[in-house]
Amino acid sequence: MPDPADLILIGILLLALVTVESGGYFLTRVVRGHVPANRLQGNFYRAGHAHAAVLLVLSMVILSVISYAALDGFWMQLARLGVPIAAILMPAGFFLSVLGRDPHRPNRLIVLLWLGVVSLTAALVTAGIGLIAGGVAAL
């Protein structure tokens, strides 16, 4: 059974999916031409929306099994929180880096995307190794 703190975080992540749902409505407005957006903005809005949804769901999957990992301290916190942090940073990088009228390339806030990539990668590697080690120890 997941840790009570993990259950609370899973509940928060489920509620956060409602914001992704509203982002889907925004995307339908962009696609129908009700919200002005150039090609770069449209592509980044779609990428941000997709990453947000997938990473929130992935976070819940990891949180549901991470208590079985052979991790503690910093490494356990990284495995627990790295993907939810990426679920904030990566979409923010996509959305915020193309703000304004008719941008032709992403602005400096694209760094949020890459910070999210680092958080995601570190969490996935840590959780994966920790779960393998926990499974081997349980054999």
Question: pLDDT of the chain along its 139 residues, tens only?
Answer: 778 999 999 999 999 999 998 888 888 999 898 999 999 999 999 999 999 999 999 999 999 999 999 999 999 999 999 999 999 999 999 999 999 999 999 999 999 999 999 999 999 999 999 999 999 999 9
Number of H helices, E strands in the chain: 4, 0
The parent domain of residue 20 ranges over: 4-138
Query: Domain tally for the chain?
Result: 1
Q: Measure the CA–CA gap between 9 and 100, rounded to whole angstroms.
A: 33
Q: Measure the CA–CA gap between 72 and 79, rounded to whole angstroms.
A: 10
Query: What DSSP string describes 5-72?
Result: HHHHHHHHHHHHHHHHHHHHHHHHHHHTTSS---HHHHHHHHHHHHHHHHHHHHHHHHHHHGGGSS--
